[in-house]
Amino acid sequence: MKLYSYWRSTAAYRVRIALNIKELDCVIESVHLVKNGGEQLQETYKSINPQSLVPSLETESGEVLTQSMAIIDYLEDKYSGVTLYPKDSIRKAQAKAMALSIACDIHPLNNLRVLKYLKSEEWQQEQVDKWYAHWIHQGFSAIEKQLENSSGLYCFGNEVSVADIFLVAQVYNANRFNVPLDDYPQICMINLHCLNQQAFIDAMPENQADCDLI
């Protein structure tokens, strides 16, 4: 398998975590979202993913899958080993709903192309930061409420799930933009526990070969 990824992509981060949890070998090919005008916009990559987004996963059979949730569900269905969903059908649906609330309701409003568009409309950085923080707080407030009665080290008990994968990647994103998370102790506790696990450590943006940080 080959994963087209970018070290700072929140969505690609999710898939890297899932691959590590399931202990799957995968070649990582960087698609730099900033250099050269954005390599995701070049025809070479657009022929792989017409949406010009990362991640994309080239399967062992040569098919290309896009969208992090679809890729993760493919990995779950295709490969045995550690499962990414609770076994109970209700908790499975709840875990997926939490992941989707991040993937569909929080992240799209804060990703790179949206922030670039706001700046192109002459928004000042302070306005962009306020926009970003608003959607993080709205989304995280709801998730924190959902986690109030949870027990265990992860979002749904003592087993990692897709909810934790999406949450950790979004917390990284929020920290990157200096959004204070003091009001979300459950989220912070789960995030800290996950980041002590090797599968999450190896997937961290700063641990990727294409990381730009010095």
- For residue 145, count CB atoms less than 10 angstroms from its CB and return exposed for 0-12, middle for 13-18, buried for 19 or more: exposed
Domain count, the chain: 2
Give the whole-number percent of the chain exceeding pLDDT 90: 83
Name the more confident of 118 and 3: 3
3-state secondary structure of 206: helix
What is the DSSP secondary-structure string of 41-89? GSHHHHTT-TT--S-EEE-TTS-EEESHHHHHHHHHHH--SS-SS-SSH
How are the residues of the chain apportioned to helix, strand and coil, as percentages rounded to the nearest 5? 55, 5, 35
Q: In the structure encoding, which two tokens stand for residue 58, read together?
A: 């080239």
pTM of the model: 0.94
Which of 82, 110, 126 is the endpoint of a domain? Answer: 82
CB count within 10 Å of CB 138 equals: 12
Name the more confident of 167 and 121: 167
On average, the pLDDT of the chain sits at: 94
Same domain, 17 and 64: yes
Q: Which residue has the tokens 């975590």?
A: 17
What is the DSSP secondary-structure string of 158-197? TS--HHHHHHHHHHHHHHHTT---TT-HHHHHHHHHHTTS
Beta-carbon contacts of residue 150 (< 8 Å; ≥ 6 apart)? 156, 157, 186
Q: Span 148-163, mean pLDDT?
A: 93
User: What is the per-residue pLDDT across 58-74, written as a single tens digit (0 to 9) for each?
Assistant: 999 999 999 999 999 99
Same domain, 57 and 121: no
Q: d(Cα 178, Cα 192) in Å, to the nearest integer?
A: 17
Q: How confident is the model at residue 80 (pLDDT cuts 50, 70, 90)?
A: very high
* DSSP designation for 152: S
Residue 185 lies in a domain: yes
Residue 212 lies in a domain: no
Read off the CATH number of the domain in which 15 is found. Answer: 3.40.30.10
Q: Which pLDDT value is given to residue 214?
A: 52
User: What is the per-residue pLDDT across 85-134, written as a single tens digit (0 to 9) for each?
Assistant: 999 999 999 999 999 999 999 988 887 778 878 878 888 888 888 988 99
Please report, as a single letter, which amino acid is at residue 23: E
Residue 208 lies in a domain: no
Which of 42, 63, 82 is the endpoint of a domain? Answer: 82
Residue 78 has pLDDT above 90, yes or no: yes
User: What is the per-residue pLDDT across 27-42, written as a single tens digit (0 to 9) for each?
Assistant: 999 999 989 889 999 9
